[in-house]
Amino acid sequence: MNTIWSLPKIDIQNLTSVQEARPAALLAGRRSWAAVSPLLDLPLVVQAEPERVAPDYLDGLAAALPPQVKVVYGVGGGMVADCAKYIAYRRGISAVIIPTALSVDGFFTPIVAARMDDSVHYVETGPAERIIIDWDVIRAAPPHFRGAAIVELLTIVTGILDWKYAAENKKNTPDTRFIPWAAGLMAGIAQQAFKIAKGVGQGDVEALRNLLDLVCMEVQLTNQMGHTRPQEGSEQYFAYAVEPRAGKGRPVAYADMVGPGILIAAALHNQDITPIRETLVSAGIRINQLRLQDISDTLKTLPQYVRKHDLPFSILNSFEPTAERIDEVIRKAGLDSGGASA
């Protein structure tokens, strides 16, 4: 059976007005909870700070959940949201997500990006029951996190290129065949991201609301299609592959990896990276957080990586990672000077 999931209910309200009667479990990082705990009054039974989105780890947390818990609250960013959705799914209860920044589209999706075998595997959990957005909380987030979900829209630029490239090489599956009208709709969403980037970087609420709307449109369209090919390609495969190197076992901000990944993917497709780079920077995205050596080492093994993990066909399947070609791509992506750390 194929399910076309809907978006979760989204309430835009002050956290002080949230009312919850159900016994709750809370998942939150220390900083996120410190920021919102004075505003929330939840009937907490248990509280935890999740460490990773790994099924075996989360299965253990789900099994240990006290039986009286009827709802899981996730307060923070994408990792916490995924953990909350997964645990709620495993226990057959509801999840409520309170983002402290608009950092990922995963708040709104019916899937969890689980880390297994140094890659990302999607687990279908269904969407959260409810998302609560408090603009005062969002605006107070660090600028590089506050509107980082804009990278989810900019990945459309390179995602569509990879999707079309796969179609030209007859490598799309029947379920992920290239659909021009869908590509056109997604391209329109990406175009709007370029227009709102400056306001997002400045923390303007109108721009952040536009970001919320665009992310929801992106998620609903991929829900309708049943796959994420229009906005997930070589830029995110790079992020999956670089994460173990960059994080050394610790979580790395999604945008810090995908931002450079977009520039690399655009360079591989011989696109002008200047407008993309300027948009990322104006939105507050950090593109200099990855070590240059990690970028180079990741590119060296990336074609092998995508084949090993059977990732959907992209331009990486045709990439020859010679030393000269790697240097050329890094240079074209603008990551050789000022775009990556030493």
Residues 209-229 have a mean pLDDT of 98
Cα separation, 241 vs 79, in Å, equals 17
Confidence of residue 115 (pLDDT cuts 50, 70, 90): confident
Residue with tokens 């796959």: 227
Of the chain, the percentage scoring pLDDT greater than 70 comes to 97
Give strand pairing partners of 11. 132
Cβ count within 10 A of residue 122: 14
Query: What does the pLDDT read at residue 231?
Result: 96
User: What pTM was computed for the model?
Assistant: 0.95
- 342: pLDDT strictly greater than 70: no
**Could you give the angle at the alpha carbon of 233 between the alpha carbons of 335 and 231, nearest 5°?**
105
Summarize pLDDT for 231-246 with one digit per residue, the tens.
999 999 999 999 999 8
From the list 130, 102, 277, the residue with the least C-alpha distance to 207 is 102
* CATH 3.40.50.1970 domain span(s) along the chain: 9-141
**And the tokens for 216?**
């929801």
From the list 122, 155, 184, 153, the residue with the least C-alpha distance to 314 is 155
Judging by DSSP bridges, how do beta strands 111-116 and 119-124 pair with one another? antiparallel
Summarize pLDDT for 123-152 with one digit per residue, the tens.
999 999 999 999 999 999 999 999 999 999
Q: Residue 138 to residues 8, 41, 147, 189: CA-CA distances in angstroms?
A: 19, 19, 8, 22
* CATH 1.20.1090.10 domain span(s) along the chain: 144-332
Cβ count within 10 A of residue 237: 25
- Fold adopted by 9-141: Rossmann fold (3.40.50)
Mean pLDDT for the chain? 95
Confidence of residue 117 (pLDDT cuts 50, 70, 90): confident
Confidence of residue 339 (pLDDT cuts 50, 70, 90): low
Give me Rg for the CA atoms of the chain: 19
Does CATH number 3.20.20.140 belong to domain 144-332? no
Which DSSP helix (H) or strand (E) runs through 54? none
Summarize pLDDT for 255-275 with one digit per residue, the tens.
999 999 999 999 999 999 999
- The letter for the amino acid at 318 is S
